[in-house]
Amino acid sequence: MKNIHDEEITFSNCDSCGRDDTIDYQLFNDFKYVQCRNCGLIYQNPLPHFKPLKNRYSKKYFFYELNNQHNFFELMRKSLKDIRFHDMRFKSSNGKRRFLDIGCATGLLLNYIKQYGWDVTGIELDPFSAGYARDNFALNIINKPLEEVTLKEKSFDVIHWSHVIEHLPSPLYGLRKIHKMLKKNGVMLLTTPRVDSLQQKLFKQNWRSFHRDHITIFSKKTLCNMVKKADFKILKFFSWGGIAQEKGVPHWIKKFADTSVKLFNMGDVMFILAKKE
């Protein structure tokens, strides 16, 4: 079956609980979200096949990443600061701590982490971003989708992925693969949009994260349930994002909204720090 973009599509059961019992959640011109009646997960159904998903990355996407790389990096750096990342201690038999960034884009975060003595590796689907990271920072970047990457199990102390899980046809598969690649007591740093947030309530179907490329949209409950299903222990959860800058509201309103949602944990972007025991 094909959709209006001439992409192969297929119908799918809920990736979290496996049930095939949904209601329509949000309809758009060329895709729709459904919600699982059993566990509440929100996802696109039908799903685009993986190969067409991979083909969506273009030079235009790369320039978007390049133009916004410093803003994205600052948000990730703030998340690391919030969890006191540089105070964490990781035991390593050979003295090298290993850090994997899935969806590393242009490599700014990896280059930053490398300066603290980490052995870093990146996975990036966009070939232009992967090339930029290699050429500008001499980074080890794997230009393949997570599903096709073969890395040694129990080999990383930290695996970071920011705004990646929502793009995967099977987020549970991604979580379980990450669990296998982590060493015992290693940690996962996960960032993704949050549907049960102030912004989504305000902007409804015009919320910024209802997007054709976002296959699964999580709430706090559905994300935490899936992370636990993949055998992680959640150590910390927080969120941010009160009103998006592109909405053009006065600065004082944006600042008040951003401060409030972080205080009451109602932001439309959420972060989980989880441990493999």
Q: pLDDT tens digit string along 68-122?
A: 999 999 999 999 999 999 999 887 666 789 999 999 999 999 999 999 999 999 9
Better-scored residue on pLDDT, 92 or 205:
205
Predicted confidence (pLDDT) at residue 163 exceeds the cutoff of 90: yes
For the 57-276 domain, the top CATH level (class) is alpha beta
> Nearest Cα to 158, choosing from 182, 124, 139?
182
Q: Has residue 1 got a pLDDT over 70?
A: no
- For residue 78, give every residue at least 6 positions away whose Cβ sits within 8 Å of its Cβ, in sequence order, or none: none
The amino acid occupying position 237 is F
| Cβ atoms < 10 Å from Cβ of 110 | 25
Lowest mean pLDDT, pick from 9-18, 50-59, 138-147, 248-257? 50-59
Residue 201: pLDDT band (50, 70, 90) is very high
Strand stretches in the chain, DSSP E: 9-10, 22-27, 32-36, 42-44, 47-48, 98-102, 119-123, 141-142, 156-162, 182-193, 216-217, 232-240, 269-276
To the nearest whole number, what is the mean pLDDT of the chain? Answer: 92
Q: Give the residue-averaged pLDDT of 11-20.
A: 95
Of 14-28, 42-56, 155-169, where does mean pLDDT reach its minimum? 42-56
- For position 60, what pLDDT does the model report? 85
In this structure, are strands 269-276 and 232-240 parallel, antiparallel, or unpaired? antiparallel
**pLDDT at position 122:** 98
173 and 230 Cβ atoms separated by less than 8 Å: no
What is the structure's pLDDT at 64? 87
Helix count (H) and strand count (E) of the chain?
A: 8, 13
Please tell me the pTM assigned to this model. 0.93
The answer, yes or no, to whether residue 52 has pLDDT greater than 90, is no
Average pLDDT (179-199) is 97
pLDDT over 90 at 246, yes or no: no
**CA distance between the termini of the chain:** 42
